[in-house]
Chain A
Amino acid sequence: MSLQITQKSSRVLIADDDPVIRHLLRSTIMQEGYEVTEVSDGREAYRLLRSDSNFRAAIFDMKMPFLQGLEILKYMRTEKRLMRIPAMMITSEQDLRLMTDSFSAGATVFLSKPFTAEKLKMTLHMLLD
């Protein structure tokens, strides 16, 4: 039953405190035919995921108010209903350790800012396909 929900879901969760990045992500994801649910900080993302796991994928900014992207990822990997949701981590930091930390925490793909539209689309395809 839950697997069917994941396969049918066309919703993507975006959590980023930057409205410019959220808008860019939303526009690109919707062009690919998906619906978008967006929140502006880690606490909102956590609250949403506690009651809603019907997402095709999730995209988190690493550094957000209240709760960091890595912490949300770690939480998702503790819940069976959430651990199957593939996740992208986005950051403007150039520290390679953050990339490895993201993958260790369960991220599927990693995207560093600044990114081009082409790179964003390529990373989205890796996440969603």
Chain B
Amino acid sequence: MSNKFAQLTTLAVTECRMDNGDLQAEILDLDVLRSLDGGQSGEMPDLIVELIDLYLNEAAVRIAAMRRAIDSNDEDGWKQAAHALRGSSSTLGARGIGRRCDELEQVGFSDVTTARSIFERLLIDCTQVRSAMLQERQRRIQAAGS
């Protein structure tokens, strides 16, 4: 019995490891993000760093607007903010955020409870994306400096 438990545990850990790459890509697909520089030359300002800075600032504004709209039961408000965040999130590789924003846009009939639930999950996604983007930003700045 203990052998089978150990085998199952090993299998679960292995599956987690195998899924980790996919999970990372779900949070932030770095291949998508990195492809946006379109092969710019090293002498130009790093477009990816600029996009990350812009996106993180913009995301904070949109998230704040969503929160205010949900708190005041403003369905148009949270849907507009979600739509505004969706496009750039997906384009920069933050697919999970893009999907959450889409879910928020689909919430109907001023269903604040569902909107709030989705928003809470969106906040978690945003924290993870922010961390991943800042890591990538740091990596690129260090690589440029060396």
- The interface of chain A, by Cβ under 8 A from chain B, is 17-21, 23-24, 27-28, 31, 63, 92, 113-118, 120-121
Contacts and interface: CB of A to CB of B under 8 A. Distances in A.
B93 to A, nearest CB: 8
B18 to A, nearest CB: 26
- Contact residue range for chain B? 20 to 34
Interface stretch (B6-14, B47-55, B70-78): B47-55
Contacts of B36: 24, 116-117
B30 to A, nearest CB: 14
A117 B40 CA distance: 11
Interface of B: 32, 35-38, 40, 47, 50-51, 54-55, 58, 83-84, 86-88, 90-92, 98
Contacts, number: 57
Nearest to A30: B44
Q: Is the interface of A mostly helix, strand, loop or mixed?
A: helix
B55 to A, nearest CB: 5
Contacts of A21: 87-88, 91
Contact of A23 (B32, B54, B98): B54
Contact of B38 (A19, A114, A117): A117
Contact of A18 (B38, B58, B98): B58
B47 A114 contact: no
Contacts of A120: 38
